[in-house]
């Protein structure tokens, strides 16, 4: 069975960090006792989990305060697809079911790997998400 990769995206759109997702579920949150610990006040201590369901990968929100967003939609549980953009708090992730090496289209001169333009994509915050400050707490809500 193949493994997937979860990338944390930096503000300039590059892949900042990565974690392999395999047979064992991966919990993402702000707590140090999760597999992927994120420093973002908008992320709950245990925010979401990615796990296998047969050949598929599924993301489940763990009752986070600000919700888990996939491709701009707030989700409670959803099958993930290659290149799905995930947002938790102010942090963006990219889910990839293919390794960069297996998705390449060959090698150029001097062993340079040729990366297809379909792999060069942007993961942006959902436009329907706005930050609101309410009584001293920050919470994400869908714009009306």
Residues 45-65: tens digit of each pLDDT: 999 999 999 999 999 999 999
Which pLDDT belongs to residue 2? 79
Query: What DSSP string describes 108-142?
Result: -GGGPBPPPGGG-------TTEEEEEETTEEEEEE
Look at residue 141 and tell me whether its pLDDT is greater than 90.
Answer: no
Q: How many residues are present in the chain? A: 144
Instruction: Kindly report the pTM of this predicted structure.
Output: 0.73
Q: Residue 108's pLDDT band (boundaries 50, 70, 90)?
A: low
Look at residue 120 and tell me whether its pLDDT is greater than 80.
Answer: no
CA distance linking residue 142 with residue 50, whole number of Å: 23
By percentage, how much of the chain surpasses pLDDT 90? Answer: 58
């Amino acid at each position: 069975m193949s493994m997937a990769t979860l990338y944390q995206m930096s503000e300039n759109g590059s892949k900042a960090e990565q974690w392999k997702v395999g047979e064992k579920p991966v919990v993402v949150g702000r707590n140090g006792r999760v597999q992927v610990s994120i420093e973002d006040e908008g992320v709950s201590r245990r925010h979401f989990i990615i796990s296998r369901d047969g050949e598929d990968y599924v993301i489940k929100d763990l009752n986070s305060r600000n919700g888990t967003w996939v491709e701009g939609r707030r989700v409670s549980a959803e099958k993930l697809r290659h290149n799905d953009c995930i947002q938790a708090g102010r942090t963006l992730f990219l889910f990839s079911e293919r390794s960069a090496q297996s998705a390449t289209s060959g090698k150029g001169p001097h062993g340079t790997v040729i990366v297809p333009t379909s792999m060069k994509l942007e993961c942006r915050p959902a436009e329907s998400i706005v930050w609101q400050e309410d009584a001293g707490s920050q919470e994400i809500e869908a714009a009306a």
